Structure 1
Amino acid sequence: MTKILNLTHLEKSYDSGSKKLQILHDINFEVEAKETFAIVGPSGSGKTTLLGLCAGLDQIDKGEIELCGIKLSSLSEDELASLRNQKVGFVFQNFQLLPTLTAIENVAVPLELQGNKNATEKAKSLLKKVGLEHRMHHYPSQLSGGEQQRVALARAFSNDPEILFADEPTGNLDAETGEKVIRLLFELNAELGTTLVIVTHDMELAKMTQHILEIKGGKIVSDQKTGI
């Protein structure tokens, strides 16, 4: 299988007053193309920091990350932004929709940034897939939390990403709504052939993926395939 994400001897620390606080210690793992992959661990274990590093949103201290066959350390900030825009999708716990844009405009933005002339039509198609064709002209403030996250899902898949990173995608949703969002996420992922990397503290969600990486205290404590 082709590796889409490969981390070798990754380390990350932050300045905390006069001390350095090490968040991640010698992290090594790989994700195969089209695999569903979960990063699990308790709060403060370094999960979200790790996800940001994988996506090139932050700089590592030591080690190397290869994303879509490209070493992130070799790229400038503009090149990193271009890589994310072309090959990466994101779903966040707090939706991160633009409040002054309607649902369809939020989904169309990444496409318009790519110069896609069919941005509006594709945005309509994606909103239909997530069951929101009747809400496409509503603003985020007019949508429920579950509806906002479904708009965020449509936006995440809009640029046909090779890999999608989801950070606690149901963290702000009730259990029933969260289940619907996760079902949609996996359905879209399978349909579009995307690699899915989910950060979660929910082991039931993690068990739905093919590969689970568990971290505690910034160290890998388990790395196993689930057999799904």
Structure 2
Amino acid sequence: MTKILNVRNLEKTFSSGSKKITVLHDISFDIEAGETFSIVGPSGSGKTTLLGLCAGLDQADSGSIDLCGTQLNSLTEDERAILRNKNIGFVFQDFQLLPTLTALENVAVPLELQGAKNASKVGKELLEKVGLGDRFHHYPSQLSGGEQQRVAVARAFSNTPSILFADEPTGNLDAETGEKVIDLLFNLNKESGTTLVIVTHDLELAQRTQRILRLKGGKIIENPIDTL
């Protein structure tokens, strides 16, 4: 199996006044291509910080991250942005849709930025797959929370990412709606063969992935284990 993400001895600290707070301490793990993987832990355990580092949204103080065969440490901010556009999909808790764009435009924009000529066609196909074939021209304010997150899921797959990071994807949804969104996420993931990394405090959701990494106080308290 090919490793798509290799994390070694990761450290991250933040300054708070005159104090330095270590958010992540000596984090090491691997994720195989095509694997489903979850990072769990209580609030403040460093889950979202770890996801941001793995996705190249921020830089660690020490340690190394190899993503899609590229060492993130050696890249400039612009080079990391290019890597993200080509290889990574994101689903966030707060949807992060552009309010002035329609559902279709929100999904198609990442493709258009890459110069794809079939952006609208792909966007329509993805929205149909997530059950929003009748919502192409609706703006986010005209959609429910569950519908907005479905648009976000469709957008995340628009650039056929090698790896998709989902940060508390059901955090702003009720239980029933959240379950439907997660079913869509896993179904699309299986169909596309994308590696899926989910940050969550929901153990029931985490147990749907092949392996779980548990964090507490910025440290791994249990090595990744099979859930099967």
Give TM-score scaled by structure 2 length. 0.99
Q: Tell me what 1:174 maps to.
A: 174
CA deviations on 1:151-207 (whole Å, 9 max, x unpaired) are 000000000000000000000000000000000000000000000000000000000
Q: Tell me what 1:213 maps to.
A: 213
Q: Tell me what 1:96 maps to.
A: 96
Q: CA deviation at 1:223?
A: 2.0
Q: Distance in 2 between matches of 1:227 and 1:220?
A: 17
Asked whether 1:224 is paired with 2:220, we answer no
Q: Tell me what 1:18 maps to.
A: 18
What percentage of residue pairs aligned between the two structures are identical?
A: 74
- Asked whether the equivalents of residues 164 and 196 of structure 2 are also in contact (C-alpha less than 8 Å), the reply is yes
Q: Distance in 2 between matches of 1:73 and 1:179?
A: 36
Give TM-score scaled by structure 1 length. 0.99
Asked whether 1:158 is paired with 2:188, we answer no
Q: How does 1:1-228 map to 2 (within 5 A)?
A: 1-228=1-228
Q: CA deviation at 1:64?
A: 0.2
Flag structure 2 segments of 5+ consecutive residues without an equivalent: none
Flag structure 1 segments of 5+ consecutive residues without an equivalent: none
Q: CA deviation at 1:51?
A: 0.3
Q: Distance in 2 between matches of 1:176 and 1:120?
A: 30
Q: CA deviation at 1:23?
A: 0.3
- Asked whether the equivalents of residues 211 and 224 of structure 1 are also in contact (C-alpha less than 8 Å), the reply is yes
Q: CA deviation at 1:224?
A: 3.0
1:125 aligned counterpart, secondary structure: helix
Letter aligned with residue 189 of structure 1 = N
- Asked whether the equivalents of residues 209 and 227 of structure 2 are also in contact (C-alpha less than 8 Å), the reply is no
RMSD: 0.6
Q: CA deviation at 1:52?
A: 0.3
* Regions of 4+ moved over 6 Å: none
Q: Distance in 1 between matches of 2:92 and 2:115?
A: 24
The aligned length equals 228
